[in-house]
Amino acid sequence: MGKDVKDLDRVMAFVKVVEQSSFHAAAKDLRVSASVVSKLISLLEEDMGVLLLRRSTRRLSLTDAGADFYARCAAALASIKSAKEMAAEQSDAFKGVINIQATLSVAIKVLGPAIRSFAAKYPDISFNVAMAEVPSRVIDSGYDIVMIHRPTSREKKVACRTLRPVRFLICASDSYLKAAGVPMRSGDLARFNCLINDKQIRPNEWKFRDGAKETTVKVRGNLRMNDSLALHDAVLRGVGIGRLPDYHVESNVKQGELRVLFDNCVYDIRTITAAYPRSKFTPPRVTLFLDFLEEFIARSNPRAHDVGKAAAQSRPYRSGDIDPAVTTH
């Protein structure tokens, strides 16, 4: 590394002398003395074993080897300058590409609306969103932002912004409830067709909290899937009861397409968190988008306590709402 830096210093001194046709002018540009410039070029010639410049008291001239070497070095230095300018342009807060990795559901339900709103405001910033499982090591993923489901990362070089908590809600459509009946207590779920997401932790065990007591209901059904979006669609179509993330069903609940049956479902701590490499050189556009995303989610989605409120307000079922003949399964 040290030798490479010294070689570059010598090459830059040589190129400057040729361009300025003067040791003194080159030294002024490089902010060193003329003797230092002369020494650098002498060391370069000594290292290469070839004479590059003919020196006299009146003028400097290139040897044939020197002319060829200058042409190649000048082109290389021009490429370096161009690369630096391009890198500097990429640091512009309002230009460039942001690379993000997220699961399919987060990409569609959370990032999609935010990116559309952000793009309308900052049209020169584009996005490359890869939808895949979250990598085991964020820092090695090569993305500017990786959406994870935990509020922190164990990687020391990774910073995290927790954007919102995630609650899981027990939901069903009116069509299913009218056909199969309504579970009045969490324990009743064992007798209903519950759709299972195999990607969830202990997918067949749904936990509920009643005051200080926590209970587990072992559920089963005729459909198991490993994708929450597909499961969400099945619940909407009346196939059965599902345990779904709140950000999936908020709009469905508001529009009356789904009913939240219980608002005391317990689930392992999950969040929507943006993880990104911890660095003082984080591109400004990435910080700009993270700030925007945080504000967008806070403005567009209910907080954790609001989800419970929405759930309670969405439970219209009381005795007499459904034909008593089908209130149990």
- Is the pTM of the predicted complex or chain greater than 0.75? no
Cα distances (angstroms) measured from residue 50 to each of 14, 17, 207: 13, 17, 80
- 322 has pLDDT over 50: no
Q: Are 63 and 53 in contact (CB under 8 A)?
A: yes
- 303 has pLDDT over 70: no
Predicted pLDDT at 314: 38
Helix/strand/coil for 133: coil
The arithmetic mean of pLDDT across residues 219-232, rounded, is 93
What strands, in cross-sheet order, belong to the sheet with 265-266?
213-218, 205-210, 265-266
Q: Please, what's the b/e burial string for 196-209 (b: 16 or more CB within 10 A of its CB; e: otherwise)?
A: bbeebeebeebbbe
Q: Is residue 119 within a helix (H) or strand (E), and if so which, with residue range?
A: helix 112-121
Q: From the centroid of its chain, how far is CA 292?
A: 13
Predicted pLDDT at 305: 40
Predicted pLDDT at 1: 45
What would the two tokens of residue 240 be?
A: 């059965």
Predicted pLDDT at 86: 64
- 56 has pLDDT over 80: no
Task: Dihedral sign for Cα 239, 308, 245, 185, please.
Answer: negative
Q: Are 166 and 247 in contact (CB under 8 A)?
A: yes
Burial class (CB in 10 A: 0-12, 13-18, 19+), 213: exposed
What would the two tokens of residue 198 be?
A: 């195999």
Confidence class for position 302, pLDDT limits 50, 70, 90: low
What angle separates helix 112-121 from helix 284-300, to the nearest 10 degrees?
A: 120
Predicted pLDDT at 92: 64
pLDDT tens sequence across 252-297? 999 999 999 988 888 777 899 999 988 877 888 999 999 999 999 9
- Vertex 74, ends 72 and 76: CA angle to 5°? 70
Residue found under tokens 């469905």: 252
- 238 has pLDDT over 90: yes
Domains and CATH numbers, the chain: 2-90 (1.10.10.10), 96-166+271-306 (3.40.190.10), 168-268+313-326 (3.40.190.10)
Residues 6+ apart with CB under 8 A from 167: 245, 246, 265, 267, 304, 307, 308
Confidence class for position 304, pLDDT limits 50, 70, 90: very low
Predicted pLDDT at 21: 85
pLDDT tens sequence across 184-203? 999 999 999 999 999 888 89
- 327 has pLDDT over 70: no
Residue 190: CB atoms within 10 Å: 14
- 320 has pLDDT over 70: no
Predicted pLDDT at 283: 86
Predicted pLDDT at 162: 92
DSSP state of 108: I
Predicted pLDDT at 4: 59
Residue found under tokens 């003797």: 35
Predicted pLDDT at 78: 80
Q: Where are the beta strands (DSSP E) in the chain?
A: 53-55, 60-62, 96-102, 125-131, 145-148, 158-165, 168-172, 194-197, 205-210, 213-218, 224-225, 241-245, 259-262, 265-266, 271-277
Query: What do you get for the CA distance between the two ends of the chain, in Å?
Result: 74
In terms of pLDDT, which residue wins out, 37 or 136?
Answer: 37
What would the two tokens of residue 97 be?
A: 């590409």
pLDDT tens sequence across 94-153? 788 999 999 999 999 999 999 999 999 999 999 999 988 776 667 667 789 999 887 776
